[in-house]
Amino acid sequence: MKALSQKRRHPFAFVALLLLGLLLTGGLYAAATTVNQAQATNTASEYDDEQVDEGERLFVANCATCHGMNAEGTDAGPSLVGVGAASVEFQVGTGRMPMQMQGPQAQQKPPQFNEEQTTQMAAYVASLGAGPAVPDDEYLDMEAGDPARGGELFRINCAMCHNAAGAGGALTEGKYAPSLHGVEPVHVYTAMTTGPQNMPVFSDSNIPPEDKRDIIAFLQTYEQQGTPGGFSLGFLGPVSEGLLIWTLGLALLIGSMVWLTSRSS
């Protein structure tokens, strides 16, 4: 016991314990990060050299003005190193990039590039550094998802911006959360993993791929159901419904009064 007590008082004992603690903490963090991001990142290994080369040519011709010749970023656009193929799939696949004009946020418009060209640019950007990957088809399969659970996840994580019906909503400084009606499953998924505009990033540690698939299943199921109750009124909820009832009710009341007074005279 005396010998052990003397070793504890050794001047390097505290340093040794600190180093051991740092190594243990770092090892656990690295292991957890590897598990959580196993399906979330990719490099150019999924693409061949021809796709990467063609993607670079397209990038230099169409994107380098804002993002730099090596995608290092400029005053007009951010760096694309490490954003991953998923970011290209979402931004280019939805027509948001290249931007038509500067504004609070990129506007969705008809895509300028076809699917093959989008994949080629995604290959080039993926070659610059690991980042969120384009999901496998199994995570976009509505039939394999659980719409009921997806609806619960959507209301917890997404409804505060996109509306409980996925109709979108206004944000600050001229920005907005877009409608999710008619959005391709791959673009819903890649938006969650990349966090475009004001949207937060939902990595696999926040929402696993299976849960993302459930959210996609919910959105598609909701859209297929249509509006069995009648007019959707923009899916804005009780505000628009109350306004419509108030306006129609007031119009009917005034019309009835006019009709009664004209009959009495």
Q: What is the CATH number of the domain that holds 86?
A: 1.10.760.10
Q: Are residues 91 and 143 in the same domain?
A: no
* Tokens at 141, concatenated: 């399969």
The pLDDT of residue 145 is above 90: yes
Sign of the dihedral through C-alpha 85, 115, 166, 234 = positive
Q: Distance between CA atoms of 139 and 145, rounded to whole angstroms?
A: 8
Check pLDDT > 90 for residue 247.
no
What are the start-end ranges of the H helices in 158-237?
159-162, 185-194, 209-225
Strand partners, 131: 42
What residues are designated binding site for heme c? Answer: 63, 66-67, 158, 161-162
- Taking the C-alpha atoms of residue 255 and residue 17, their distance in angstroms, rounded to an integer, is 85
Question: Does 128 lie in the same domain as 144?
Answer: no
**Is the pLDDT higher at 259 or at 214?**
214
User: Do 67 and 106 sit in the same domain of this protein?
Assistant: yes
Measured distance CA(118)–CA(163) in Å, rounded: 30
**What are the residues facing 170 on neighbouring strands?**
176
Whether residue 178 lies inside any domain: the answer is yes
116, 94: one domain: yes
Confidence of residue 102 (pLDDT cuts 50, 70, 90): confident
> Is residue 16 included in any domain, yes or no?
no
Of the ranges 8-22, 98-112, 218-232, the best mean pLDDT one: 98-112
Confidence of residue 92 (pLDDT cuts 50, 70, 90): very high
Residue 109's identity, in one-letter code, is K
Say how many Å lie between the first and final Cα of the chain, rounded.
114
Are 86 and 146 part of one and the same domain?
A: no
The total domain count for the chain is 2
Quick check: bond before 200 cis, omega within 30?
no
Q: Is the pLDDT of residue 11 over 90?
A: no
Residue ending a domain, among 89, 106, 134, is: 134
**Does 48 share its domain with 97?**
yes
Tens digit of pLDDT for each residue in 184-229? 999 999 999 999 988 999 999 999 999 999 999 999 998 887 665 5
**233 DSSP assignment:** G
Annotated binding site: 63, 66-67, 158, 161-162
Q: What pLDDT, on a 0 to 100 scale, did the predictor assign at position 35?
A: 45
Residues 144 and 173 in one domain: yes
**174 touches 103 (CB < 8 A):** yes
Which residue would you say has higher pLDDT here, 115 or 262? Answer: 115
Model confidence at 79: pLDDT above 70: yes
Helices (H) and strands (E) in the chain, counts: 11, 4
Q: Is residue 166 assigned to a domain? A: yes
Q: Containing domain of residue 216, as a range?
A: 135-227
The answer to whether 128 touches 68, Cβ cutoff 8 Å, is no
Cβ burial, residue 169 (10 Å; 0-12/13-18/19+): middle
How does pLDDT run across 122-140, given as a tens digit for each residue?
A: 999 999 998 999 999 999 9
Instruction: Please indicate, yes or no, whether residues 142 and 201 belong to a single structural domain of this protein.
Output: yes
Whole-model pTM? 0.73
Q: Which band of pLDDT confidence, cut at 50, 70 and 90, is reported for residue 53?
A: very high
129 with 47, same domain: the answer is: yes
Task: Name the one residue in this structure whose structure tokens are 């500067």.
Answer: 102
46 and 91 share a domain?
Answer: yes
